[in-house]
Amino acid sequence: MALVAGILLAGLAAPARAFEPFTVQEIRVQGLERISLGTVFNYLPLERGDVLNERRAAAIIRTLFKTGFFDDVRLERENEALLIVVRERPAIAEISISGNEELETDQLLEALKSIGLDEGRVFDRSALDKIEKELERQYFARGKYGVRITSTITLLEDRRVKLAIDIYEGEVARIRRISIVGNRVFDEQTLLDQFQLRLPTVLSFFGDRDQYSRQKLAGDLESLRSYYLDRGYIHFNIESTQVTITPDRRDVYITINVSEGEKYHIEAVRLAGDLVVEEAELRTLIKIAPGEVFSRRLVTESSNAISERLGEEGFAFANVNPVPDIDEATRTVTLTFFVDPGKRVYVRRIHISGNARTRDSVIRRELRQMEGGWISTARINRSRVRLQRLGFFDEVNVETPLVPGSEDLMDVNFSVSERSSGTLMAGLGYSQGQGLLINASISQNNVFGTGARVSATVNNSSVNKIYSFSYTNPYYTIDGISRGFRLFNRSTNARQANIAAYTSDIYGAGVNFGFPLSEFNRARLALDYENTRLNTSTATPTSYLAFIGDNGDEFDIVRLSLTWSHDTRNRAIFADRGGRRVFTASLAMPPGNLEYYKLRYRESHFFPLAGDYTFLLKGEVATGDGYGDTTELPFWERYYTGGANSVRGFRANRLGPREEGVPRGGSFKVVGNAELILPVPFASDNKSLRLSAFFDIGNVYTRRKDFSADELRYSAGLSIMWLTPMAPLTFSYAWPLNEEPGDDVERFQFTLGTFGF
């Protein structure tokens, strides 16, 4: 059929020659392969019966090009019919990416997909150009200025293409020089010590601090600014920053131009606005005072402390704005904290989710934030800590969304992730200090979701043969008074525990009550009865035989114990802030036939440092003695040191005074530990591992008066703790620092089933 007229329009340009408008009676599309006819008609801004003129023709071509489906679009007239001739863009048959190490392939493919470059989709060259530029930007931000991205497009049959993206990442540009210009108050090295970026050293191989990164430089510039602002230089300014890259794109030279200004002091500190809390109390939260050097850090900390205090009173959206009034003549600052508490916010509902086993009531009794009361950030945070310390949950998260349509009502949503709180074990094993282990135990810290704890154990090792059962209800009363009891039978071979040659057979029972004294303080009262029978041999030390000769070899012991604890740790397991203090006094008394006392004080504190580092300090002092008719502390109640839970690097229970070649223990014990808790390499997100470097000190003495600092033993080493599904497992390797002749050294040690204090 002959063509009556042809129109070729490119982009928005006017047609090369005019044509006479006509009424379109029919629309036909030619050249479609994969795109359906219906898809074209959906986009087409023209219907049968419409008049086609130059404006509409341009709109049709523009619209079809915008779909991204076509490389070419032509309009032709055939009598009263409009013929649309198209050439489809090729489809992507395959995408491959090679050479990338810094960015993961899956991430790159997802990024390509987000802009339409995906297998089966129409290929768009402009989208490929865009992703190439974005990839370059990503690598530049990582300091890899030598990156080269090569895209190869291979035509296949059936108008398909294979897209291959090859990335040459190159090396990270190394910093060769950092210069600070304009500093007069602080020398350049002092300022550069605040930077994360460093010049290359012999140890640079083990880190990346000498590798240039735009993000790192931005962080270092902020550190530099903070350094000056925290020291009174409120007009400090970074005038400019020049980053110069060598032609081979491997070396970077950084020049920072600064203007320091003058140092300013605080003239006065004022409070203004709606002070819903007593001004005197708010002033105690301000950490900067008249006469001191201005410090942005202290101003920010003061503002945050006031906001947190207002949050405790229900003002969740309080705004505390510190405004400095600068006197240029005297170089002083009058600082005013403007307080806008906003509306007091109340809690409508507290929702709990994720507790498949634990009852709602068990969780709610730990909460310090109540429904209907005003919201308190301190009470919410405390509630979260109390839930974490139960040991029932891997994670505890809290959200406080506003109630829709209300400005003064919030919901508090606690979501928990439950961990297995019970264990059932039976097995055969080996442990340092206890030898061959044959044991079976069942324990449940959250029986039927009630929070009660039940444990039954059978243990048969070369040191101990134990049969025990215990039960504790932490909320025996609604006020939080706990009650527990235990039954046990224990046979001990002391010689296998590195102590003197004797054995003991003990059975008994006990009951205990716990009393909350305050939010962080608790007391525990326990009454126990024990029957102890001793068995000796020809290798038993003389003093042990003398004690048995004076007091007998079988005893009924009635012991009353009182324990006070102060616990501010954020978690019971793997804490990283807070601390714990425990003082225990035990008194063996009539009607038992032995009379003695034991006193023990333990303390630990966690100090968060920068990043994932935490510093831990622990200490323990214990003493005891006989009274009444009992002349000394019974030898099986003596203290011992050495081993994984006291002074690592020395064999368990082998430190201190000896008798006839074996440790005899003592009635006075001193142990201290300092640990730097470190991120676990290659497993920083693993919450079941903890790595630490430690320093231990301690020893045991016959009596308190025998204490001598010269007899203390020291060690240092590394420890890793693994919280396995069965029980915590701890490995340590220590180097004794002042071992003496006769000391038993044991550098590698491990324990199973205990966290220590």
Residues 275 and 379 grouped into a single domain: no
Rounded Cα distance between 369 and 371, Å, is 7
pLDDT digits (tens, 9 = 90+) for 356-400: 889 999 999 999 999 999 999 889 999 999 998 888 888 899 999
pLDDT at 681: 78
Contact yes or no for 608/576 (Cβ under 8 A)? yes
- Per-residue pLDDT, averaged over 535-550, amounts to 88
What is the CATH classification number for the domain harbouring 506?
Answer: 2.40.160.50
Residues 81 and 178 grouped into a single domain: no
pLDDT at 420: 67
Rounded Cα distance between 89 and 153, Å, is 13
Place of tokens 């990582």: 142
Kind of pairing between the strands at 81-88 and 26-30: parallel
Indicate the burial class of 413 (C-beta count within 10 angstroms; 0-12, 13-18, 19 or more): middle
Candidates 565, 561, 669, 672; CA nearest to 622 is: 669
Q: Which has more pLDDT, 152 or 302?
A: 302
- At residue 139 the predicted structure's pLDDT band, cuts being 50, 70 and 90, is confident
Side chain identity, residue 210: D
pLDDT at 48: 87
pLDDT at 568: 93
Of 168, 203, 230, the last residue of a domain is 168
- At residue 727 the predicted structure's pLDDT band, cuts being 50, 70 and 90, is low
Rounded Cα distance between 176 and 253, Å, is 6
pLDDT at 1: 32
**Hey, is 379 helix, strand or coil?**
helix
- At residue 624 the predicted structure's pLDDT band, cuts being 50, 70 and 90, is very high
pLDDT at 494: 83
- Per-residue pLDDT, averaged over 261-278, amounts to 93
Burial 489-500 (b: 16+ CB within 10 A, else e): ebbbbbbbbbbb
pLDDT at 270: 94
Is residue 386 domain-resident? yes
Of 209, 244, 259, the last residue of a domain is 259
Question: Whole-number mean pLDDT of the chain?
Answer: 86
pLDDT at 209: 67
- Per-residue pLDDT, averaged over 682-695, amounts to 81
Q: Which has more pLDDT, 592 or 727?
A: 592
Residues 199 and 317 grouped into a single domain: no
Residues 573 and 660 grouped into a single domain: yes
pLDDT digits (tens, 9 = 90+) for 442-498: 677 788 888 898 988 877 766 778 899 999 999 999 889 999 999 999 998 888 777
Is residue 651 domain-resident? yes
Of 88, 107, 134, the last residue of a domain is 88
Residue 234 half-sphere exposure, CB side, CA atoms within 13 Å?
Answer: 20
Q: Which has more pLDDT, 678 or 170?
A: 678
Is residue 626 domain-resident? yes
DSSP code per residue over 257-306: EEE-----EEEEEEEEE---S-HHHHHHT----TTSBP-HHHHHHHHHHH
Beta-bridge partners for 240: 257
- Determine which of 80-94, 668-682, 699-713 has the lowest per-residue pLDDT on average: 80-94
pLDDT at 339: 94
Rounded Cα distance between 607 and 601, Å, is 20
Side chain identity, residue 277: V
> What percent of the chain lies above the pLDDT cut of 90?
48
Rounded Cα distance between 623 and 453, Å, is 31
- Determine which of 111-115, 135-139, 292-296, 546-550 has the lowest per-residue pLDDT on average: 111-115
Look up the pTM and report it.
0.67
Rounded Cα distance between 728 and 688, Å, is 9
User: Which tokens in the block code for residue 309?
Assistant: 């205090």
User: DSSP alpha helices (H): ranges in 142-236?
Assistant: 188-192, 214-229
Rounded Cα distance between 197 and 178, Å, is 9
pLDDT digits (tens, 9 = 90+) for 310-348: 999 999 889 999 999 999 999 999 999 999 999 999 999
- Evaluate if residue 13 carries a pLDDT over 60: no
Is residue 408 domain-resident? yes
- Per-residue pLDDT, averaged over 181-202, amounts to 85
Residue 458 half-sphere exposure, CB side, CA atoms within 13 Å?
Answer: 8
Residues 635 and 560 grouped into a single domain: yes
**Hey, is 486 helix, strand or coil?**
strand
Residues 406 and 472 grouped into a single domain: no
Residues 590 and 539 grouped into a single domain: yes
- Per-residue pLDDT, averaged over 556-576, amounts to 92
Is residue 446 domain-resident? yes
Contact yes or no for 233/263 (Cβ under 8 A)? yes
Contact yes or no for 338/282 (Cβ under 8 A)? no
- At residue 523 the predicted structure's pLDDT band, cuts being 50, 70 and 90, is very high
List the domain range (segments joined by +) for residue 462. Answer: 422-752
pLDDT at 753: 60
The values of phi and psi at residue 685, to 5°, are -90, 0
For the chain, the domain total comes to: 6
- At residue 615 the predicted structure's pLDDT band, cuts being 50, 70 and 90, is very high
- At residue 429 the predicted structure's pLDDT band, cuts being 50, 70 and 90, is very low
Residues 378 and 414 grouped into a single domain: yes
Let me know the angle formed at the C-alpha of 554 by 701 and 622, rounded to the nearest 5 degrees.
Answer: 25
Is residue 757 domain-resident? no
Residues 482 and 568 grouped into a single domain: yes
How far is C-alpha 259 from the geometric centre of its chain's CA atoms? 38
Residues 504 and 629 grouped into a single domain: yes
User: Which tokens in the block code for residue 421?
Assistant: 């709180």
- Evaluate if residue 437 carries a pLDDT over 60: no
Burial 667-687 (b: 16+ CB within 10 A, else e): bbbbbbbbbebbebeeeeeee
DSSP code per residue over 384-433: HHHHHTTSSEEEEEEE-PBPTT-SSEEEEEEEEEE---EEEEEEEEEETT
Residues 318 and 377 grouped into a single domain: no
Contact yes or no for 210/195 (Cβ under 8 A)? no
Is residue 719 domain-resident? yes
Contact yes or no for 506/528 (Cβ under 8 A)? no
- At residue 287 the predicted structure's pLDDT band, cuts being 50, 70 and 90, is very high
Is residue 539 domain-resident? yes
Residues 368 and 334 grouped into a single domain: no
Task: Enter the DSSP assignment of 639.
Answer: B
pLDDT at 685: 65
- Determine which of 65-79, 172-186, 282-296, 529-543 has the lowest per-residue pLDDT on average: 65-79
Contact yes or no for 397/414 (Cβ under 8 A)? yes
What is the CATH classification number for the domain harbouring 133?
Answer: 3.10.20.310
